[in-house]
Structure 1
Amino acid sequence: MSDLFLDEVIRPESAGGDGRRARRPGREERQRKRRQRRRRTVIALVVALGLLGGAAWAVVTYVLPTIQGFSLGESESADDFPGPGHGSVQVVIPPESTGGAMAAILHEQGVVASERAFTRAFTANPDASGIQPGTYNLLLEMSGAGAVDALLNPENRVQTRVTIPEGLRVDQILERLSSVTAVPVEEFETAMADTAAVGLPAEAGGNYEGWLFGATYTFEPGTTPTEMLAQMVQATITTLDEAGVAPEDRQRVLTIASLVEREARTPEDRAMVAQAIQNRLDRDMKLDIDASVAYGAGKSGTELTREDLDTDGPYNLYTRTGLPPTPIASPSAVAINAVMNPTPGDWIFWVTVNLDTGETKFAETLGEHNENVEELRAWQRENE
Structure 2
Amino acid sequence: MKKILALILAVGMVFSLAACGGEKTGKGTETKQETKKIDYANMTEDDLIKEFIKDEQNITLDEFIDLVSTYSYATINNKLELDENITDKAIKKLKENKAKLPAAKEFVEPLLKSDAPQVRGYAFSNIATFFGASDSHKASAKEILKTEKEPYVIKCAVKALGNEGGKDAEIGKFLLDAAKNENAVVRRQAAVALGSTWNKTLNGAVDAEIELMKDPDKEVRKAAYEYAGLLGDDRVVAPISEMLKNEADADLHSSGVRGLVWLWYDYPSHENTSEAAYRATIDYFKTTPGSDKVPAWAAVTSFTNKSEKNYDAWKEKATYFNTDELYEVMLGLVKNENLGRMTRGYACKPVAVHCTKEQFEAFGEVINALTDKNAKFIQDEYQNQAKKLE
Greater Cα radius of gyration, structure 1 or 2: 1
More strand per residue: 1
TM-score (normalizing by structure 2): 0.28
Structure number with the bigger relative contact order (C-alpha 8 A, sep ≥ 6) is 1
